[in-house]
Amino acid sequence: MKHKYVVVDLETTGNTPDRGDCIIQFSAVTIEDLRIVDQYTTFINPGVPIPPFIEELTGINDGMVLDAPEFKNIASKIYDLLQDSIFVAHNVFFDLGFLRNELEKSGYANFAIDSVDTVEFAKIIFPSAPSYKLSELADMLQLEHDNPHQADSDALVTAELLLILLERAKALPLITLEKLSDMAYSLKSDMYIVFQSLLEEKRKNIENLQDDLEVYRGIALKKKTIQQSYTDEITPNYPWDTEEKIQLFSLHMKDFKHRPGQMEMMDTVYESFIQKKHAVIEAGTGTGKTLGYLLPSIFFAKTERKPVVISTYTIQMQDQILNYEIARLKKMIPFQFQIAILKGRSNYINMLKFEQSLYDKDPHYDTVLTKMQLLVWLVQTETGDMEELNVSSGGRLYKQRIKHDGWFFQMEKDPWFSHDFYIHARNLAQNADVVITNHSMLLVDANKDQSILPEYKYAVIDEAHNLEKAARSCFGKKLEYNSIKFWIGRLGTLEKSQLFNKLEKLLDKKGLSPSLHSFEMDHIISQLDLEIDDLFNMIGIKLSKLNGRKSNKNTKQQLRITEEMNSDRQWLPLVLCAERVYDYHRTISKALETRLSLIKNDDIKISESEQAFVEEINTFIRDWIKIGEKIQQFFLTSSSQNVKWVEGDIRALPNSIGVFTQPISPGDELFTTFFKNKNSVIMTSATLTVNSSFNYYINELGLKKQNLVEKIIRSPFDYKEMVNLLVPSDLPEVRGTVNDDYIEAMANHIISIAGATDGRMLVLFTSYDMLRKTYQLIKESLALEDFVILAQGITGGSRTRLTRNFQQFNKSILFGTSSFWEGVDIPGKDLSCLVIVRLPFSPPDEPITAAKYELIRNEGRNPFSDFALPEAVIRFKQGFGRLIRTETDRGVVIILDRRIDTTSYGKTFLQSIPNISIERGPIKSILSSIENWL
């Protein structure tokens, strides 16, 4: 059955029709027989002024709607247009809700129509898309999108998107469509109509399964590619000569540009491997460091027949290496080589758990949608790595259920063993020349008795400035109130249909009787739940008292737990409560393990669905035991090597509370577990030195200077021509705590600078409190009303989403803290002004910093010069690096912290960045310089 679709998009004065927001533009594209046959578009006079933000977003102003009809004058035409059709929109409930509201006001009450949401549809058909915003999907599918946020352009692109979605859905295997069709009834829009009609059509014209697909146990999958092993008789020679390298690159790279620094880096990496030396290489922006270490790593791995492991901090960097750099190298290098990517086991899907979960009639929307995404993803993925999926927060909970966590029963008993993604990834890694992984996996693997990575002695650590942070996190522990409550909720009591209830039913069915009776266990689970509340409420009281004593009322509070506090009588009730929590928790752990061991008995016959459930319980127990270890480590053991603290938001206690423990100096453990066991580890990043010295970095990682190669490769960019650094001289001095007068002066400077740069500004803060106060002051002043101001933690969205939104608007300003100092990549004209509000020193009362200061003092050293200053300089370099990303970028850096000029240590910051021109003066002369420069 062919449906008529009407694809609608609206532009409005705001998001809430109940508060008087109105439609200012309407567009509808009609699709019949899977072809676009018509488009109707009109402006609509809302009878109210269009807000400046909407004008900036849509480009529609009051003049454009002045002579347009009011909605009531075209209501009948719109009503007729929508008859006997399926209403389609991108985020359909917004458009349909708005339209219903306007139609009812115009006398068309009880307007009912079937609807399809292209956001929901796209999530199912493109389960790995990085974003489901219309503009991002249009980019991904290479659809022309001339005027985003104008109804005619948006409606046309949505219509084209719908046709692609229908075509892709129609191409899915019959068995996948059948499952999707069954589940579609639980979706929010009327997608079941679409899937039913696609299924009927598919059944009429049954086609053979595509060659690259197979059906196993009723699920369609992409066939795994088994890499053939290459036994090259010829041992490749590394191209030591620069001319050889240039020839290699220029033959196969159209955009090749000779970079001497890149060539120097290649030789340094290869020499370090050959000589079995560790190396630290700072490679400035534009060096081409990724190819700088990949090419020698591949040559070394093939020549010496020894694998090289490459580790990155971020997933984006892994993707860039695999999908871009390796693809280029495969064309360039004159021999075959194998690359594999390997992550922690829990990243991979457990197919038995997934298969059996499909039989659950779970009505939960996020779970159903995620199952549908997975069914489509399985015909696309070769890796089974669930990080590829873009799922909702509710979907992430379902992913927890079906993650891989090894096998409770013998792995050969798993009916999916022959198709297991984790086994496949490990097999690929065992045969690979180069294995790509991440820092945390690298460190966990080094710290384990049973290694996951293939045996290796050579490694490259990219984004190496984050290795110490990854080590702290890996060797440390984190325990959050909400997380514990979630695990207790998953376990449940007898009256709840969760894991414990299901486990007891299974035991009962098999006639098994554990020593700890169900009712006793039920009571203990309930008691644990109550004691957890008591424990975290006590912590909440401590945080509230701390907040009351502080003059600077920040809603987020941290309290370091020292050895003295542990022996304080006031802390004793908390310790006693923690002991009760630990005892209850341990009793539950032992009882669960006992129950599983009864089921494991060879005489017990269990079905596949029961087997999947037992594997799920086994995974749960592994995670549950880790919680007990954390409770013991945090509350019931003492260690001079670790720092412990609690933190939480005063506005949301106890839900926001977390307890943390981390090594004060992870360098010793890093050296013992990792560096000591490797022949050569190359560490590289754009920010490793302070004033041209690696000393700080080397000390933090516990490395030894002997036998260590140190290399600084300067950026090839001409920073003097690209960047102007400006320091306003008419701001108050920053000493210690920042007061409201300083924030007001700084906000006024930001307002003036925004006017001179016309937006396109990234403003980096060192504290969220200062960011929030500055944002509020600027908003209340109305001085930047025609600018879009995006603020981390205030205007909503992840770092990636905020960055994308920032790039969409011409007059935009982005306020960021913490994670925005690094890893944010905004090349070109989208960013032409970087404002650094304060030099990025860590607060001295922050738990790790305070513990580090004590340790350094006890060793007779100076905490400021040995830790605080070098740490701040490296962070400053990372922040500075946000502005210039390509050789054509140009802009200004403004530092609103006069300490860079007025203190003896200020020059250390300036000497650690490229040589650029620096201007100082009052804001008026600064603004004049900005306008001249840009």
Residue 109: count of CB within 10 angstroms of its CB: 9
pLDDT in tens, 127-157: 999 889 898 899 899 998 878 889 999 999 9
Q: How far apart are CA 840 and CA 766, in angstroms?
A: 6
pLDDT band at 277 (very low <50, low <70, confident <90, very high): very high
Strands 477-480 and 658-663, by their bridges, are antiparallel
Is residue 20 part of an annotated ligand binding site?
A: no
First to last CA, the chain: 59
Give the residue among 902, 907, 919 at the shortest CA–CA distance from 735. Answer: 902
Is residue 284 part of an annotated ligand binding site?
A: yes
Q: How far apart are CA 487 and CA 559, in angstroms?
A: 25
Longest dimension (CA), the chain: 86
pLDDT band at 602 (very low <50, low <70, confident <90, very high): low
Q: How far apart are CA 409 and CA 390, in angstroms?
A: 31
In single-letter form, the type of residue at position 483 comes to S
What per-residue confidence (pLDDT) applies to 881?
92
Outline where 407-495 has alpha helix (H).
Answer: 421-430, 439-447, 467-475, 481-491
Q: How far apart are CA 440 and CA 472, in angstroms?
A: 10
Give the residue among 417, 424, 407, 418 at the shortest CA–CA distance from 611. Answer: 407
pLDDT band at 39 (very low <50, low <70, confident <90, very high): very high
Per-residue burial over 290-312, b if 16 or more Cβ lie within 10 Å, else e, is bbbbbbbbbbbbbeeeebbbbbb
Q: How far apart are CA 438 and CA 341, in angstroms?
A: 9
Give the residue among 383, 380, 374, 377 at the shortest CA–CA distance from 423. Answer: 383
Is residue 286 part of an annotated ligand binding site?
A: yes
Planar angle of CA 704, 708, 712, nearest 5 degrees: 120
pLDDT in tens, 792-817: 988 877 788 788 888 888 889 999 99
Give the residue among 745, 723, 721 at the shortest CA–CA distance from 734. Answer: 745
pLDDT in tens, 148-191: 889 999 999 999 999 999 999 999 999 999 999 999 999 999 99
Cα dihedral 894, 898, 901, 906 sign: negative
Which architecture does CATH list for 719-933? 3-Layer(aba) Sandwich (3.40)
Q: How far apart are CA 557 and CA 559, in angstroms?
A: 7
Give the residue among 560, 622, 476, 530 at the shortest CA–CA distance from 849. Answer: 560
Angle between helix 499-509 and 608-631 (nearest 10):
130
pLDDT band at 683 (very low <50, low <70, confident <90, very high): very high
What per-residue confidence (pLDDT) applies to 912?
94
- CATH 3.40.50.300 range(s) for the chain read 719-933
Outline where 632-666 has alpha helix (H).
Answer: none
pLDDT band at 233 (very low <50, low <70, confident <90, very high): low
What per-residue confidence (pLDDT) applies to 608?
87
In single-letter form, the type of residue at position 230 comes to Y
pLDDT in tens, 40-49: 999 999 989 9
More confident residue, 123 or 794: 123
Placement of tokens 């294995």 in the chain: 435
Lowest mean pLDDT among 178-187, 207-216, 870-879: 207-216
pLDDT at 552 over 60: no
pLDDT band at 550 (very low <50, low <70, confident <90, very high): low
Which residues does 742 contact at the CB level (< 8 Å), separation at least 6? 731, 732, 734
Residue 323: count of CB within 10 angstroms of its CB: 9
pLDDT at 666 over 90: yes
Is residue 285 part of an annotated ligand binding site?
A: yes
Residue 749: count of CB within 10 angstroms of its CB: 20
Q: Stretch 850-876: mean pLDDT, rounded?
A: 95
Q: Residue 526: exposed, middle, or buried by beta-carbon count in 10 A (0-12, 13-18, 19+)? A: middle
HEC profile for 239-303?
CCCHHHHHHHHHHHCCCCCCCHHHHHHHHHHHHHHHCCCEEEEEECCCCCHHHHHHHHHHHHHHH
Is residue 578 part of an annotated ligand binding site?
A: no
Q: In the CATH scheme, what is the homologous superfamily, with its name and number, of domain 5-172+180-201?
A: Ribonuclease H-like superfamily/Ribonuclease H (3.30.420.10)
- CATH 3.30.420.10 range(s) for the chain read 5-172+180-201
